[in-house]
Amino acid sequence: MARITINPTDFVSTINPNIYGHFTEHLGWCVYGGIWVGENSSIPNTDGIRDDVVAALRKLKPPVIRWPGGCFADDYHWEDGVGPRAERPRRVNIHWGEVVEPNSFGTQEFVRFCRMVGAEPYLVGNVGSGTVRELREWVEYCNFDGDSTLAERRAADGSPAPLDVTYWGIGNENWGCGGSFSPEDYCTEFRRYATYVRGFGKQLFAIACGPSGNDIEWTIRFFRKLRRDYWDFRNIHGFAAHYYSGTAGTATTYTVDQWYELIAKGLRMEQLVVQQRAAMDAYDPERKIGLIVDEWGTWHPVEPGTPPRFLYQQNTLRDALVAATTLDIFNRHADKVVMANIAQTINVLQAMILTHEDQMLVTPTGLVYGMYAPHQGGTAVRTTIDSASMVYKVRDGEEDLSLVSGSASLKGSRLFVTLTNSHAEDDVEVNIALLGGASVREAQAEVLTGEIHMHNTFEMPNAIQPRSLAMTATGASFKVTLPPASVTAMTLRLS
Ligand code: AHR
């Protein structure tokens, strides 16, 4: 049993569509095989980019895609990936299995891919092994709308018009694979690099590297130095944390306790958001800098038989529950979280899409992104949930997990509500009360549910799909029964 109150007159903030962002890295089969097959491939493609993947992604509506890494970004030199493809250098991908990177997929190909799927590109600069000049020139190559040598190169590469890239990351995980900096040293580097991320007439969005997980010390030390030494520094718009969750077991083989454990670990994102935003508020009381989580998701042992550094994993209903509950957290904190990028779009970690040669499937996580898309650009409204909880076993004892979570957003007279029931076997009856004089005129819902290990395979790509959920709702309060292990999306027309 759970009691939910939603107040459609109590606005949190507009849900930035970028909360539904993705991340694609030169890692395993994400780019090569997943997106890029080349013009001469027998797999149907447009300019080398898979048609099936583009069509599937368009339905999931990714608003922004981060690229080229990840750890790969701080060893990537953008000039390797422009100009005639046959002349591009081959480099060793030092982070991801030392495979040879052909650079066939570079800036032009990535931006084209983004435009095909309807997303904004988010480029991550190289702070760890690159130079300020390199990043400054990458921005000019992409965005300068005049007669410079770099703009001319861009035109010769196929884009006379600027690529108009707004989002620029100043390094990735610079506490680790991006150069092993201390927060203070990274702060100095950030300021130097960000100074040269110029808009050429366009307002850019510069993103600083935030903590590993909820490492508050990184945040405090970074902002303390930024504010003390560079108190007037303005070229910072976002601050990006990374958070991954996993359990023992594998992506598809887990116990009921591990089902609960993973969902509970995913829910720790709430603590990260609450504590990180509080730490940021101390240095940025006017809240000009947005909190971003530009890598997050589930991280399981790789699928047996696949290369260990390719991070290829299957994706079940358990991952879908983590995706849904995490997106609900971001929606509820829409006044601070301005972007989030699930890792990663295709064939890596908590993927939306898996491919194998010419086959493709949308994972339960991808299906959640499709179901949640109506939240994008809606106004998050205050929602409180009082739910029963479940005790589950972990290695050194017991923990408990609140069974129902969710969020709500308003667009005109349409109230969109998403809810999860984490109970592995039992329905949960939910009582929903609308405050502020709101009343439901018409309701419809769809649900993603099944046995807790369900997933799609290349043999059965539609084994798990959302289906409509019968519900009747009118007036200011109503009941709905959430099936076990489920994600529900409800559209309520208000009178
Ligand atoms: O997403 C995989 C890797 O995880 C990224 O390259 C890195 O930033 C993080 O540690």
Q: Quote the CA–CA distance of 371 and 316 in Å, as a whole number.
A: 16
Query: Is there a contact between 353 and 362 (Cβ–Cβ < 8 Å)?
Result: yes
pLDDT at position 232 over 90: no
User: Comparing C-alpha atoms, which of 387, 397, 393, 401 is closest to residue 264?
Assistant: 401
Q: What is the mean pLDDT of the chain?
A: 97
Query: Is there a contact between 214 and 276 (Cβ–Cβ < 8 Å)?
Result: yes
pLDDT at position 229 over 90: no
Range 223-250 average pLDDT = 92
3-state SS, residue 313: coil
In the block, residue with structure tokens 């790969």: 72
Query: Is there a contact between 485 and 418 (Cβ–Cβ < 8 Å)?
Result: no
CA 111 / ligand 1 centre spacing (Å): 21
Range 113-121 average pLDDT = 98
270 is catalytic: no
CA 30 / ligand 1 centre spacing (Å): 13
Sign of the torsion angle spanned by Cα atoms 29, 30, 36, 41 = positive
Name the catalytic one among 25, 120, 134, 295.
Answer: 295
Q: What pLDDT sits at residue 323?
A: 98
- Please report, for the chain, how many H helices and E strands are present, in that order: 10, 25
Residue-wise pLDDT tens digits, 28-51: 999 999 999 999 999 999 999 999
Domain spans, the chain: 16-376, 381-494
Six-digit token string for 231: 């108190």
Six-digit token string for 476: 């200011």
Q: Whose CA is nearest to atom 9 of ligand 1?
A: 70
Q: Whose CA is nearest to atom 4 of ligand 1?
A: 70
pLDDT at position 111 over 80: yes
Q: Do domains 16-376 and 381-494 have the same CATH topology?
A: no
Q: Quote the CA–CA distance of 153 and 138 in Å, as a whole number.
A: 11
Pairing of the two strands 120-125 and 64-67: parallel
Q: What pLDDT sits at residue 262?
A: 98
Residue-wise pLDDT tens digits, 138-174: 999 999 999 999 999 999 999 999 999 999 999 999 9
Rounded to 5 degrees, φ, ψ at 317 are -60, -30
Range 357-369 average pLDDT = 98
Name the percent of the chain lying above pLDDT 70.
100
pTM of the model: 0.98
CB atoms inside a 10 Å sphere around CB 470: 9
Range 332-342 average pLDDT = 98
Instruction: Classify domain 381-494 at the CATH topology level.
Output: Immunoglobulin-like (2.60.40)
What is the residue-wise DSSP string for 366-413?
A: HHHHHHHGGGTTPEEEEEEEEE-EEEEEETTEEEEEESEEEEEEEETT
Name the catalytic one among 173, 429, 451, 459.
Answer: 173
398 is catalytic: no
Range 51-77 average pLDDT = 98
In the block, residue with structure tokens 């972990």: 394
Least confident span in 19-23, 149-153, 226-230, 353-357: 226-230
pLDDT at position 231 over 80: no
DSSP label at 32? B
CA 326 / ligand 1 centre spacing (Å): 18
Q: What pLDDT sits at residue 396?
A: 87
Rounded to 5 degrees, φ, ψ at 73 are -60, -35
Task: Supply the CATH classification number for the domain 16-376.
Answer: 3.20.20.80
Q: Which residues line ligand 1 (CB under 6 A)?
A: 25, 69-71, 172-173, 295, 343-344, 349
In the block, residue with structure tokens 């958001």: 273
Ligand 1, closest atom to CA 96? 6
- For the chain, how many residues are written? 495
Burial (Cβ within 10 Å: 0-12, 13-18, ≥19) of residue 476: middle
Residue-wise pLDDT tens digits, 415-468: 999 999 999 999 999 999 999 999 999 999 999 999 999 999 999 999 999 999
CB atoms inside a 10 Å sphere around CB 451: 12
For a mutational test of ligand 1's pocket, the pick from 24, 31, 71, i.e. the residue with the most ligand atoms closer than 8 A to its C-beta, is: 71
Q: Quote the CA–CA distance of 40 and 262 in Å, as a whole number.
A: 42
In the block, residue with structure tokens 């993927």: 351
Query: Is there a contact between 327 and 320 (Cβ–Cβ < 8 Å)?
Result: no
Ligand 1, closest atom to CA 95? 6
Residue type, 378: G
For a mutational test of ligand 1's pocket, the pick from 76, 174, 242, i.e. the residue with the most ligand atoms closer than 8 A to its C-beta, is: 242
Q: Quote the CA–CA distance of 245 and 213 in Å, as a whole number.
A: 10
Name the percent of the chain lying above pLDDT 90.
98
Q: Where are the alpha helices (DSSP H) in 290-395?
A: 317-332, 364-372
Range 66-80 average pLDDT = 98
CA 381 to each of CA 247, 407, 441: distance values in angstroms, whole numbers, following the listed order: 33, 8, 19
pLDDT at position 302 over 90: yes
